[in-house]
Amino acid sequence: MGKARCSSFSAKLQGTGFSNGGDINLDFLQSLRQLCSFSNNDTLAQLDLLKPATFDNRYYINLLSREGLLPSSQVLVTGDDQTRGIVEAYVENQFAFFEDFKYVMVRMGSLGPLTGNNGVIHWNCRIVNWPPSFAKPA
């Protein structure tokens, strides 16, 4: 947990992962380029370079510092004011993040698996099965 393969943010390394260059800290971008340039795309990068093994609100601090590793993370700050407000609240109040995290984990833990005709098996998670089917494609 807390890591991503270079291949998952390779567009960022090429400068094509965001709509403009202001969405990422250039020093952070350079460090990622250096990490990923000496190996294949299976190299793992830490989501949090400062305290990678600590569970805290650092992920959100990194987003405000334009050091979100994944474009899908950084858009939490650049996407709209509502999500940016949540990020800012978690930066200002780590306890609020812990409380919300606890609540969401309990809710997710209470979800049961979809069975029978109530669910869809995704044989390829990169595409949507439509119409829903339980049969593996030929």
Total number of domains in the chain: 1
- 13: CATH: 1.10.420.10
Residue type, 56: D
Residue 130 resides in a domain: no
Question: How many CB atoms within 10 Å of residue 62?
Answer: 22
108: Cβ–Cβ under 8 A, 6 or more apart, which residues? Answer: none
Q: Which two tokens stand for residue 43?
A: 């190299």
Tell me the residue range of the domain where 48 lies: 3-109
Binding site as annotated, residues for Ca(2+): 48, 56
Residue 40 resides in a domain: yes
pLDDT tens sequence across 48-71:
888 888 999 999 999 999 998 888
| pLDDT band at 19; cut points 50, 70, 90 | very low
Binding site as annotated, residues: 48, 56
| pLDDT band at 81; cut points 50, 70, 90 | very high
Residue type, 86: I
* Confidence (pTM): 0.73
Instruction: Decide if pLDDT at 30 tops 80.
Output: yes
Distance CA 91, CA 85 (A): 10
Residue 36 resides in a domain: yes
